[in-house]
């Protein structure tokens, strides 16, 4: 069975690992390859701060709620494993701040210790009058991708740097199943008007005294457009940019100023922080993520495709649940193939 | 009116904060700190500086709460300001966990810290051997940064720092009018107080920047306090032990206990061992006394014996000490009282 995963961000690599773990003993041999034109540290996953947190409003697809929960539970179960630091995994607590009262988020019982902020806590943030406090997880993209790459390499999965121009091209190479994890660039393989880039820019600073995440929200301007501060394993990520439709990969001076001004207002001690780097990435924004099968007719054969892209700004947050679902779809493909190989019974 | 000359003995957190309070609250005075040890060589420098009060058995709870609240409020306003990183003060959240349900489920300081609540079942699952816990947000006061910041603040008010060992408070008379004794453990010899004794504490300072929460065993013996430059792992409470050299076996034991609480610490590196002798006393001595000898007189304000809780109550005690100093100043400047003496 020849399987190719296109894409080496968190979705591609975790899906590859999940499928390998589930089926390598059933499928002998399982020839699993990863094709990508970008590998860590050049993927969008590498730019993400890595805080586990879904959008505030419920997803349009209720299955996504379950996939978020599965991912949190999976990561939490690793928090005390010797792998945790290598995975880029740690517990982190912090604040979500608003200018007015809002309903509790659908994920309030997934995270730990969710509660509303007291008035004394809100005194710390004079621009805000309402908020939440809870304990969540950090899963740092860069470390996690390195860890996933090591696990896959140990299992004999091969990586190839190549720019795939079309799904047909891969199918014609004699591949049985293609897993399309091309994220924000999925439109280049198959037009998808629902998918668009949510350009983000972030500044990484050294501010090791900051131990909490601080996310602010402005309902008028949309998610990720209000300042946020997210400490990671070594550096702190400052952000607050989400520009729909903007494909510019260059760091913008204006966005830098927006981020810096907004975050310094939120956390005045940042004036002491040394800037360690600045990065741009594209969230693959879609009304709901695409996780489904498709049959591709190439010549006389059918090639199975599993699409797994469009995770917006919550890719790390939902990745494992989606990998499990993709593995389920892969399992269905296997069942169908076996059925189709069975001789027809004589009536 | 003559300038009142005030000497503060001791340059730990108690001495420095008391000197700063006096220089800010008492008019027409000069403040000089005299100590044989300054930061980074004081006992305070070894302390992790987390604001969780120690309970003093012989001090009324409402007084302890008042000092803690004064200290918390004072540090809170620094933490929210642009000065926070310069002063080494910032917010820290975490858990205090118990192996059995404690008699007092809500401590007296619960409403002083932020967001205090009992831990949920899901949170307790993170600590398999524990059945009960508190979750809250408090402050960390990094003494290695805070003490130099206090020294700087004192100097802007014209305060002086003098590196000298004082063996007898009378050495400071007649150069000074009032002596403020913040000598901690030194009070055993300086004023002959046998009620103050060392409570030896050994700690490890490790590199583990992924640890973002404090974790404290309710007994106070095992704790993990992440700071800006390192994580403090502790600890020990060895009564009457004056030994300032780290013990390798104790370090192993501390590391092992902390790794049980937080297994990821096994990957921590760059381990330093430190020892501090907490100036323990069943209640700290915070009072004034007028001494007389051979026709000379000296006003002494004592502020020492804070044991494990020095940083948690330092500002409240410093304010009270400054008040007592003001009373001494009043007494010195009142002709009737002067002639009586």
Measured between CB atoms, which of B137, B212, B264 is closest to A92? B212
pLDDT band of A272, cuts 50, 70, 90: confident
Name the residue with tokens 């330092």.
Answer: B314
pLDDT above 90: residue B96: yes
Instruction: Measure the CA–CA gap between B301 and B323, rounded to whole angstroms.
Output: 10
- Chain B residues inside the 8 Å CB shell of A118: 114-115
- Work out the angle at residue B331's Cα, subtended by the Cα atoms of residues B58 and B184, and round it to the nearest 5 degrees: 35
- In this predicted model, what pLDDT tens digit does every residue of B274-329 receive, in sequence order? 999 999 998 899 999 999 999 888 999 999 999 999 999 999 999 999 999 999 99
pLDDT above 80: residue A345: no
- Strands B178-181, B296-304: parallel, antiparallel or unpaired by DSSP? parallel
Among chain A residues, the shortest Cα distance to B140 is held by: A209
Query: CB distance A121–B123 less than 8 Å?
Result: no
pLDDT band of A342, cuts 50, 70, 90: very low
- In this predicted model, what pLDDT tens digit does every residue of A123-155 receive, in sequence order? 999 999 999 999 999 999 999 999 999 999 999
Query: CB distance B212–A121 less than 8 Å?
Result: no
Residue among B28, B333, B322 nearest B180 (CA): B322
Q: What's the mean pLDDT when you consider all of chain A?
A: 94
What is the C-alpha end-to-end distance of chain B, expressed in Å? 20
Instruction: Measure the CA–CA gap between A66 and B22, rounded to whole angstroms.
Output: 60
B260 touches chain A (CB under 8 A): no
Q: B interface mutation test: which of A209, A229, A265 has the most B CBs within 10 A? A: A209
DSSP label at residue B89 = E
Rg (CA), chain B: 21
Q: Which helix (H) or strand (E) is B204 found in, with range?
A: strand B197-207
Q: What is the mean pLDDT of residues B75-103?
A: 95
Residues in chain A: 347
pTM reported for the whole predicted model: 0.94
Give the DSSP per-residue string, B157-180.
TT-EEEE---S-GGGGTTT-SEEE
Q: Is the dihedral of CA A40, A46, A50, A54 positive or negative?
A: negative
pLDDT above 50: residue B19: yes
Instruction: Measure the CA–CA gap between A38 and A46, rounded to whole angstroms.
Output: 11
pLDDT band of A60, cuts 50, 70, 90: confident
pLDDT above 90: residue A280: yes
pLDDT band of A174, cuts 50, 70, 90: confident
The distance of B286 to chain A (nearest Cα, Å) reads 30
Rg (CA), chain A: 21
Q: What's the mean pLDDT when you consider all of chain B?
A: 95
- Chain A residues inside the 8 Å CB shell of B78: none
pLDDT above 80: residue B117: yes
Q: Which two tokens stand for residue B208?
A: 């583990």
- In this predicted model, what pLDDT tens digit does every residue of B176-226 receive, in sequence order? 999 999 999 999 999 999 999 999 999 999 999 999 999 999 999 999 999
Among chain B residues, the shortest Cα distance to A84 is held by: B264
The distance of B115 to chain A (nearest Cα, Å) reads 6
Among chain A residues, the shortest Cα distance to B228 is held by: A209
B213 touches chain A (CB under 8 A): yes
pLDDT above 50: residue B142: yes
pLDDT for the residue A292: 98
- The SS3 of residue B111 is coil
pLDDT band of B42, cuts 50, 70, 90: very high
pLDDT above 50: residue A344: yes
Beta-carbon pairs below 8 A across chains A and B: 94
B133 touches chain A (CB under 8 A): no
- Chain A residues inside the 8 Å CB shell of B122: 112-113
For the ranges A50-64, B95-109, B244-258, which has the lowest average pLDDT? A50-64
- In this predicted model, what pLDDT tens digit does every residue of A69-87 receive, in sequence order? 999 999 999 999 888 989 9
The distance of B250 to chain A (nearest Cα, Å) reads 24
| Cβ neighbours of residue A126 closer than 8 Å, sequence gap 6 or more | none
pLDDT above 90: residue A301: no
Residue scoring higher pLDDT (A112 or A297): A112
pLDDT above 60: residue A346: no
pLDDT for the residue A25: 86
pLDDT above 80: residue A237: yes
Q: Is the dihedral of CA B277, B278, B283, B284 positive or negative?
A: positive
Name the residue with tokens 């604001």.
Answer: B51
Measured between CB atoms, which of B84, B119, B226 is closest to A211? B226
Q: A interface mutation test: which of B72, B75, B225, B264 has the most A CBs within 10 A? A: B264
């Amino acid at each position: 069975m020849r399987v190719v995963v296109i894409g080496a961000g968190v979705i591609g690599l975790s899906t590859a690992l999940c499928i390998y773990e589930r089926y390598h003993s059933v499928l002998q041999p399982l020839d699993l390859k990863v094709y990508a034109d970008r590998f860590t540290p050049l993927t969008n996953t590498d730019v993400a701060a890595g805080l586990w947190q879904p959008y505030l409003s419920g997803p349009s697809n209720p299955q996504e709620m379950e996939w978020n929960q599965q991912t949190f539970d999976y990561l939490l179960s690793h928090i005390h494993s010797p792998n945790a630091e290598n995975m880029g995994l740690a517990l982190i607590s912090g604040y979500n701040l608003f200018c007015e009262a809002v309903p509790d988020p659908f994920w309030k019982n997934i995270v730990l210790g969710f509660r509303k902020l007291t008035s004394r806590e809100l005194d710390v943030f004079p621009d805000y009058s309402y908020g939440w406090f809870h304990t969540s997880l950090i899963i740092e993209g860069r470390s996690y991708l390195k860890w996933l790459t090591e696990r896959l390499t140990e299992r004999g999965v091969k990586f190839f740097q190549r720019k795939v121009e079309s799904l047909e091209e891969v199918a014609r190479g004699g591949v049985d199943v293609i897993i399309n994890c091309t994220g924000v660039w999925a439109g280049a393989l198959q037009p998808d008007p629902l998918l668009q880039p949510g350009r983000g820019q972030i500044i990484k600073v050294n501010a090791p005294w900051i131990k909490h995440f601080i996310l602010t929200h402005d309902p008028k301007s949309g998610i990720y457009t209000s300042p946020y501060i997210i400490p990671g394993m070594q550096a702190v990520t400052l952000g607050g940019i989400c520009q729909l439709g903007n494909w510019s990969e260059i760091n913008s001076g204006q966005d830098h100023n927006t981020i810096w001004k907004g975050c310094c207002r939120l956390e005045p001690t940042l004036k002491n922080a040394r800037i360690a780097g600045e990065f741009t990435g594209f969230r693959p924004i879609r009304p709901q993520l695409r996780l489904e099968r498709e049959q591709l007719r190439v010549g006389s054969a059918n090639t199975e495709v599993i699409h797994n892209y469009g995770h917006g700004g919550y890719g790390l947050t939902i990745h494992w649940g989606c990998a499990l679902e993709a593995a389920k779809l892969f399992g269905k493909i296997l069942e169908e193939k076996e059925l189709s190989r069975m001789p027809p019974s004589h009536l | 009116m003559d300038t009142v000359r005030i000497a503060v003995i001791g340059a730990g957190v108690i001495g420095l904060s008391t000197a700063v309070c006096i220089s800010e609250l008492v008019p027409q005075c000069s403040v000089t700190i005299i100590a044989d040890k300054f930061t980074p060589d004081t006992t305070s420098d070894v302390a992790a500086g987390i604001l969780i009060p120690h309970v003093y058995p012989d001090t009324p709870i409402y007084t302890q709460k008042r000092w803690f609240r004064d200290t918390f409020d004072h540090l809170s306003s620094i933490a929210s300001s642009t000065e926070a990183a310069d002063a080494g003060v910032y917010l820290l959240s975490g858990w205090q966990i118990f192996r059995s349900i404690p008699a007092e489920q809500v401590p007296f300081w619960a409403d002083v810290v932020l967001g205090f609540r009992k831990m949920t079942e899901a949170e307790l699952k993170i600590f398999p051997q524990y059945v009960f816990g508190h979750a809250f947000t408090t402050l960390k006061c990094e003494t290695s940064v805070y003490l130099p910041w206090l020294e700087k603040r004192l100097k802007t008010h014209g305060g002086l720092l003098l590196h000298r060992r004082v063996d007898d408070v009378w050495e400071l008379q007649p150069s000074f009018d009032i002596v403020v004794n913040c000598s901690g453990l030194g009070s055993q010899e300086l004023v002959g107080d046998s009620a103050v004794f060392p409570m030896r504490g050994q700690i490890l300072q490790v590199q583990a920047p992924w640890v973002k929460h404090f974790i404290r065993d309710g007994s106070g013996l095992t704790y993990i306090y992440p700071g800006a430059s390192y994580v403090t792992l502790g600890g020990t409470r060895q009564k009457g032990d004056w030994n300032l050299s780290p013990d390798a076996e104790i370090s192993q034991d501390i590391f092992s206990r902390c790794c049980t609480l937080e297994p990821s610490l096994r990957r921590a590196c760059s381990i330093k061992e430190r020892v501090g002798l907490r100036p323990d006393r069943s209640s700290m001595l915070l009072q004034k006394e007028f001494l007389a000898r051979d026709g000379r007189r000296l006003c002494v304000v004592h502020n020492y014996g804070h044991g494990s809780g020095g940083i948690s109550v330092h500002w409240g005690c410093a304010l009270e000490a400054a008040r007592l100093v003001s009373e001494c100043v009043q007494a010195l400047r009142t002709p009737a009282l002067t002639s009586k003496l």
